[in-house]
Amino acid sequence: MSGMACSELKIIGFLCNWCSYGGADTAGVARFRQPTDLRIIRLPCTGRMDPLFVLKALLGGADGVLVSGCHPFDCHYSSGNFMARRRLEVLARFLPVLGIDPRRFVYTWVSAAEGAKWQAVVTAFTETIHELGPAPRVLDPDDAPLRFKEGREIWPT
Amino acid sequence: MAVTQRFFLAHEGPGGVAAWLSAMAETMRVMTPVREGISVVFRDHSPEAPLDFGGLDTAGPKAAVFPQTEYLLRYRAERTAPVGGHRGVKLEEVRPEGDVLLFGASPCGARGLTLMDQVLLRDGVEDPCYRIWREHALVAAIVCQAPYSSCFCNWVGGAPDDARGSDLLLAEIEDGFVVEAVTDKGLAAVRERLAVATEEQARAAAERAEAARAALPAPPDLDDCPARLNAAFDDMDFWNEAAAGCIHCGACTYACPTCTCFNITDEASGLAGERIRTWDSCMFPNYTQEAGGHNPRPTRAHRLRNRVLHKFAFHPARFGEFSCTGCGRCIRLCPMGLDIRTIIRTIEPRTATQTTESRTGRAKEAKHV
Amino acid sequence: MADVAALRRTVLEILPRVDLVIGWQRGPDALRAAPLLMRNAADVDRLIWDRTCVHNLATFLPREKGKKVAIIVKGCDSRSVIQLVQEGLVDREDLTVIGLPCDGVVSQAKLRRAADMDRLESAEIGADHVEITAAGKTLRMALDAVMPDKCLSCAYPNALLFDRFVGDPMEPPQQRQDPYARLDAFEALPLEERFDFWKREMSRCIRCYACRNACPLCVCRDYCLAESRQPHYQSQESDVREKWFFQLIHATHLAGRCTECGECERACPMGIPVLLFKKKLGRIMTELFQYEAGLDVSATAPLLTFQAEEENIVEKQWL
């Protein structure tokens, strides 16, 4: 696990203010041991999640992205997480066409009371990302993208 | 400048293209046209790449000397001392570096560089980055063999074997290229490395060039084109009609070998960032949009008019030649199938009443984009 | 294909009641068309209708909003019109739709692969073939070989929404190609290869926004996120990351709305297969929500609604 056995990877977490951010806080107050790879961005609601946030993070060098909000039926704004669920599920299924491993993105629900669940989620997701290793970079300094590369041709139709 | 020495670059073998490019690549970046799908693009040369000299490269050569993104400076907010210092901004000027050989440009693309020079290397308002790129670039163009249906270089004073803008001009013959050293810089690149062309080879090259010139249909007379365009400036009916099918994308301007418009933005990330210059297109709605929201060119018609007049009226008035090399890339690449030749050929000043009508029309049109 | 004389008659009939009629005219060569905005009877003489009429003219509708407009549509184009009406982006009251039956257009991209289209001299389109003379060579090709994939897999050859229908309705092709055949082939590649593929393809992009502007449903256009400084979604740099990210803006903003008309890919001057992104999203919409965009003016797009208990979404379980 990072901070202990190997070097840290970059994981971005988008957390709902009302549930998962509280859940992460609960886990912290309870002094549950957690990996430190996650960088948290607080959102008012997962309904605020634009799938582009995830894509921007993944193309920008994140090795994994975690979105967590209130359980269904528990949204502070009643339907934000229902809307988010559809968008995020579509996004999860979209990633493979970009050549991005879909395991690098997860969305889930953690309530403010579920400190232990938060610990489990973060630990499991961080482990997955460490198994996958660093994500391939779009802007790789070793890469010469302007050099001819033999590649599969997919023609415009 | 006026050197007329001819050399021979064989297709294969020790004096051949691959060997020469490899030798050049030892001291500079070498870019060659490569076919990718239905496009031909300049890529860093690699010996495995199948080179494509059959025709025009899709997007033109200008990115080699006028990159789509030019980094002008980097900045970072810093403390002058770890403790007690004050916060300042550290600036670092960025300038282009390194020589580049652009091999296999089209003569119309290469000539575009001379027209860009008129804008960007003018006395008193010289662009320092462009100056460096230009000085470090070696342009080897290849004489066209058979024109495209979208070609019209001979309308605007060009030719399939136009040497302007090139340092080396290559003409393909049976077993290789006859290389004309147009500039001293070009001469230096071939003098020690290539054999001198035989008279027979030089003659064969000249014949091919002559045939290519003859293959172009006779051009219309465009001497009065600037006058006709200026007279039709207010004829918004005409411009609305001409721009009717335009979707105001930047395909025509970005592929144009003479378009030089740019935008400057600061791209910040945290406490650091860079100031960049990127291509802009006069076809975009926010081109010339002012901070208050007003845009002097509010509709597609106004913007298309600007593009056409810039190339065929304003630029000639200042620099004495059309800012168009007749490469036809804007015609080939236009997703909607618009043809600039139709405009410059058909535009006629309308009668006074028509113009008055269209003026009223313009006020009405100006609201929508 | 319906006869152009009948189409012209219909246009002439409608023209007095509208501000303009949108159709096609001959473009720069025999196999390219261009849009034609007809305002008076003389313009109608230039109207054409044949297999070169590839443009989805619905892209002009939002920008002509507020005018009385008539538009000529093929089956695929009509789906974009339906989508625009569904979203309230055009006013059905102001719109007169002239529907056509269509059993396929020709693809410039496929023609380019087969023939020297830049040196096209003449072309003749027959019932089942295209004969092209280019650079002194004559080439006869089966129509199927030069039709866009969307025509080979077409399920809606007739306009789905129309006020006037010109010609006789057609049957969809007997043996429809799988609309996702190319996507399947692409997804059969290993992940790393797909990632590298996009890096290479996107490096060719010149960020001209032809894909966006040709798209009938990309209606923000002048207020696009890609050029917005506030919020600052993306940099103006022209590196692969920014260019790729722009495609993802385009694709995600079309999720559940895109009718897969293929205008983005057709418009791309650099031949980048950007339709793959939208095809993928289209298939996800079908899988998850059994929804196909552009069929019903009164439908609600799947991402604008939800079910408390989703039928096809299985959420991740943690131990």
pLDDT tens column, B146-195: 999 999 999 999 999 999 999 999 999 999 999 999 999 999 999 989 99
Q: Is the pLDDT of residue B364 over 70?
A: no
Q: Which helix (H) or strand (E) holds B353?
A: helix B352-365
DSSP state, residue A140: -
The answer to whether B44 contacts A148, with C-beta atoms less than 8 Å apart, is yes
Chains touching A (3+ CB pairs < 8 Å): B, C
Domain ranges of chain A: 11-132
The reply to whether A135 touches chain C by the CB within 8 Å rule is no
- Secondary structure of B94-140 in HEC code, one letter for each residue: CCCCCCEEEEEECHHHHHHHHHHHHHHEECCEECHHHHHHHHHEEEE
CB contact under 8 A, A150 and B43: no
- Chain C contact set for B58 (CB, 8 A): 269-271
Does the pLDDT at position A2 exceed 50? no
Joined together, the tokens standing for residue C317 give 């379980």
**A139 reaches C (C-beta below 8 A):** yes
Q: Is the pLDDT of residue C146 over 50?
A: yes
In angstroms, the CA B109 to CA B71 distance is 24
Q: Which of B21, B42, B44, B333 to substitute to test the interface with A, most A CBs within 10 Å? A: B44
CA distances to A96, B110, C244, C282 from C251, rounded to whole Å, are 14, 36, 11, 10
How far does CA C237 lie from the centroid of its chain? Answer: 28
- How far is residue C55's CA from residue C49's CA, in Å, rounded to a whole number? 11
Tokens for B217, please give them.
């249909």
Sign of CA dihedral C48, C53, C58, C62: negative
Handedness of CA C269, C272, C274, C279 (dihedral sign): positive
Tell me what the pLDDT averaged over chain B comes to: 90
Pairing of strands B195-196, B6-10: antiparallel
Contact residues, chain A, for B49 at CB < 8 Å: 148
Looking at the complex, does the CB of residue A41 fall below 8 Å from at least one CB of chain C? no
Tell me the pLDDT tens digit for each residue of C2-15: 789 999 999 999 99
- Gyration radius of chain C's alpha carbons: 20
Q: What is the ipTM of this complex?
A: 0.94
pLDDT at C1 over 50: yes
B40 CA to chain A: closest CA distance, Å? 11
Q: How many CB pairs under 8 A join A and C?
A: 152
From chain A residues 65-84, the ones with a CB under 8 A of any chain C CB are 72-73, 79, 82-83
DSSP code for B51: B
User: Does B37 reach chain A within 8 Å, measured CB to CB?
Assistant: yes
Q: Which amino acid is at C292?
A: E
The alpha-carbon gap from A39 to the nearest alpha carbon of chain B, in Å, equals 16
B46–A147 CB contact, under 8 Å: yes
pLDDT in tens, C192-211: 999 999 999 999 999 999 99
Distance between CA atoms of residues B105 and C297, nearest Å: 51
> How do residues B241-271 score in pLDDT, each as one tens digit?
999 999 999 999 999 999 999 999 999 888 8
Q: How many angstroms separate the CA atoms of C271 and C109, rounded?
A: 8
Place of tokens 């305002």: C39
Q: Which residue of A has its CA nearest to B51?
A: A148
Predicted confidence band at A6 (pLDDT cuts at 50, 70, 90)?
Answer: low
Contacts of B281 in chain C (CB under 8 A): 208
Q: Which is it for strands B39-44 and B69-79: parallel, antiparallel or unpaired?
A: unpaired
C-beta atoms surrounding C273 within 10 Å: 23
What confidence tier does B78 reach under pLDDT thresholds 50, 70, 90? Answer: confident
Question: In the predicted model, is pLDDT for residue C108 greater than 70?
Answer: yes
Tokens found for residue C228: 């917005």
Distance from the Cα of A88 to chain C's closest Cα (Å) equals: 10
C-alpha–C-alpha distance, residues B50 and B33, integer Å: 9
**Residue C190 clears pLDDT 80, i.e. is over it:** yes
Q: Which residues contact A31 (CB under 8 A, 6 or more apart)?
A: none
Given a contact cutoff of 8 angstroms between Cβ atoms, the answer to whether C272 and C205 are in contact is: yes
Place of tokens 């959102």: A43
Note the maximum CA span of chain B. Answer: 79
- Most confident by average pLDDT, B47-51, B273-277, C65-69, C245-249: C245-249
Which of A73, A107, A151 has its CB closest to that of C308? Answer: A73
- Chain A residues whose CB is inside 8 A of the C284 CB are 90, 93-94
A154: closest CA of chain B, how far (Å): 8
Determine contact: B124 vs chain A, CB below 8 A.
no
Inspect the interface and report whether the beta carbons of B249 and C27 lie closer than 8 Å. no
What's the whole-number mean pLDDT along residues B34-53? 88
For the domain bounded by A11-132, which CATH number is listed? Answer: 3.40.50
- Please tell me the predicted confidence (pLDDT) of residue B77: 85
Helix (H) or strand (E) holding C310: none
CB contact under 8 A, B278 and C237: yes
Chain pair A-B, CB pairs under 8 angstroms: 20
Q: Are A59 and C243 in contact (CB under 8 A)?
A: no
The identity of residue B101, as a single letter, is: L
Predicted pLDDT of residue A81: 97
Chains that touch B (3 or more CB pairs under 8 A): A, C
Which residues on neighbouring strands pair with residue B33, listed in sequence order? B42
Tell me the C-alpha distance between A128 and A125, whole Å.
5
pLDDT tens-digit profile of A24-73?
999 999 999 999 999 999 999 999 999 999 999 999 999 999 999 999 99
Structure-token pair, residue C137 = 């060579």
At A147, is the pLDDT very low, low, confident or very high (cuts 50, 70, 90)? Answer: low
Q: Is B27's Cβ below 8 Å from some Cβ in A?
A: no
What residues 253-312 of chain C have any CB closer than 8 A to a CB of chain A?
Answer: 255-256, 262, 265-266, 268, 271-273, 275-277, 280-281, 284-285, 287-289, 302-303, 306-308, 310
Are A59 and C244 an interchain contact pair (Cβ–Cβ within 8 Å)?
yes
Which of C238, C241, C243, C289 best probes binding to A when mutated, by most A CB atoms within 10 angstroms? C241
Angle between helices C240-253 and A80-98 (to 10 degrees): 130
CA distance A7 to chain C (A): 23
For B288-338, the pLDDT digits (tens) are 999 898 999 999 999 999 999 999 999 999 999 999 999 999 999 999 999
Tokens of C35: 């849009």
- Judged by CB atoms closer than 8 Å, whether chains meet at C119 and B279 is answered as no
Q: For C280, what's the count of Cα atoms within 13 Å in the CB-facing half-sphere?
A: 23
Phi-psi region of C171 (alpha: psi -120 to 50; beta: other; left: phi over 0): beta
The two structure tokens encoding residue A79: 């339907």
Choose the closest CB to B58 out of C121, C221, C269: C269
Nearest-Cα residue of chain B relative to residue A144: B44
Q: How far is CA A15 from CA A101, A125, B189, in A?
A: 22, 14, 60
Question: Is A153 exposed, middle or buried, given 0-12, 13-18 or 19+ CB atoms closer than 10 A?
Answer: exposed
How many other CB atoms are found less than 10 A from the CB of residue C96? 19
Residue that the structure tokens 């020709």 belong to: C106
Nearest to C250, CA basis, from A94, B36, A65: A94
Pick from B68, B149, B248: CB nearest C238: B68
- How many residues comprise chain B? 369
Neighbours of B4 (CB within 10 A): 9
Backbone angles phi, psi at B248, to 5 degrees: 40, 50
pLDDT per position as a tens digit, A81-115:
999 999 999 999 999 999 999 999 999 999 999 99
Q: Which among A58, A62, A128, A100 has a CA at the least distance from the CA of C280?
A: A100
pLDDT level of residue B37 (50, 70, 90 thresholds) = confident
Please say whether the beta carbons of B144 and B328 come within 8 A. Answer: no
Chain B positions touching A144 (Cβ under 8 A) are 44
Tell me the nearest-neighbour CA distance from B65 into chain A, angstroms.
Answer: 15
Nearest to residue A48, comparing CAs of A61, A29, A23, A67? A67
Q: What is the pLDDT of residues C124-143, one digit of tens each?
A: 999 899 999 998 999 999 99
Name chain C's partners: 3 or more CB pairs within 8 A.
Answer: A, B
- With contacts defined as CB-CB under 8 Å, which chain B residues touch C268? 335
Tell if the CB–CB gap between B44 and A146 is shorter than 8 Å: yes
* CA-to-CA dists, residue A64 to A121, B118, B170, B175, B322, angstroms: 13, 50, 52, 55, 53
3-state secondary structure of C187: helix
Put simply, the answer to whether A153 touches B37 (Cβ < 8 Å) is yes
- Using DSSP's 3-state secondary structure scheme, residue C252 falls into helix
The pLDDT of residue A153 is above 60:
yes
Contact (Cβ atoms closer than 8 angstroms) between residue C146 and residue C111: yes
Contact residues, chain B, for A155 at CB < 8 Å = 37-38
Q: Do C36 and B244 touch (CB under 8 A)?
A: yes
Question: Which of B81-90, B93-102, C48-57, C100-109 has the lowest average pLDDT?
Answer: B81-90
* Residue type for position B283: M
